[in-house]
């Protein structure tokens, strides 16, 4: 199965192309330039694999939550390319992608949602499938859901931004391993690819017109005062 995956939900542009058993990737800190770089870099990736867009079986994308503009870019690119080449699409929750990228089986994912908030989910991997023990939400780190069980691993940039607060909540629930917090993990296209492939294989991908972002924050704009204070969505 030939698949393309992309994510622009964070400051990184992440691409992965699966061609049979071969994987071609691109990963860079692009920031707001992702909108200009994503299509040229996809073409470079296709050229490096000597394949055309129409030779793919589908497109997977990081649907969010994440940066408002970023998740719109990813869904828009997936929709446009998929519609033009008549390819189905699969949107993947970026918090699940972080859990997958961590390589762990019990993960408290926290991504920095700006404005003093985090995107949060607690996930357990059972029989190769990720289950949400605490559903994806946006919240203040101080009111992150309390977990009853132990041996969790923290992952995602929210752990770097709000480590002190999160450790107060989860210190007794984290694994005793030295590496029980992985703040540098991001939702990569490779993780999205692994999560999306079973969906494509099961024939559950959707037509490109259904490539939509996952929004869990109602606000999509800042006030003038908030912008002057340097806040970001």
Q: Show the domains of the chain with their CATH numbers.
A: 3-94+187-228 (3.30.420.40), 103-182 (3.30.420.40)
Task: Give the Cα separation of 107 and 155 in Å (integer).
Answer: 7
Prediction pTM value: 0.92
Sheet holding 3-7, edge to edge: 22-29, 12-19, 3-7, 58-64, 89-93
Q: What are phi and psi of 197, to 5 degrees?
A: -55, -45
pLDDT digits (tens, 9 = 90+) for 144-189: 999 989 999 999 999 999 999 999 999 999 999 889 999 999 999 9
C-alpha distances out from residue 156 to 38, 41, 98, 150, 180, Å: 23, 25, 7, 19, 12
Lowest mean pLDDT among 43-57, 122-136, 196-210, 216-230: 216-230
């Amino acid at each position: 199965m030939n698949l393309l995956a992309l994510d622009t939900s964070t400051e990184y542009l992440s691409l992965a192309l699966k061609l049979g058993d071969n994987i071609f990737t691109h990963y860079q800190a692009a920031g707001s330039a992702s909108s200009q770089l994503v299509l040229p870099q996809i073409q470079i990736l296709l050229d490096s694999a000597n394949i055309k867009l129409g030779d793919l079986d589908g497109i997977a994308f990081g649907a969010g939550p994440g940066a408002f503009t970023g998740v719109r870019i990813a869904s828009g690119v997936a929709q446009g390319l998929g519609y033009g080449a008549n390819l189905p699409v699969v949107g993947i929750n970026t918090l699940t992608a972080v859990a997958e990228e961590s390589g762990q089986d019990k993960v408290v994912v926290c991504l920095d949602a700006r404005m003093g908030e985090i995107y949060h989910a607690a996930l357990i991997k059972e029989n190769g499938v990720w289950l949400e023990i605490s559903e994806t939400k946006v919240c203040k780190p101080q009111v992150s859901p309390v977990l009853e069980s132990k041996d969790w691993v923290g992952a995602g940039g929210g752990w770097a931004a709000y480590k002190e607060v999160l450790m107060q909540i989860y210190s007794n629930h984290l694994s005793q391993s030295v590496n029980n917090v992985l703040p540098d993990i991001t939702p990569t296209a490779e993780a999205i690819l692994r999560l999306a492939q079973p969906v494509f294989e099961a024939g559950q991908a959707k037509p490109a017109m259904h490539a939509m972002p996952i929004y869990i924050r109602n606000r999509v704009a800042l006030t003038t005062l908030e912008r002057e204070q340097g806040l970001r969505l």
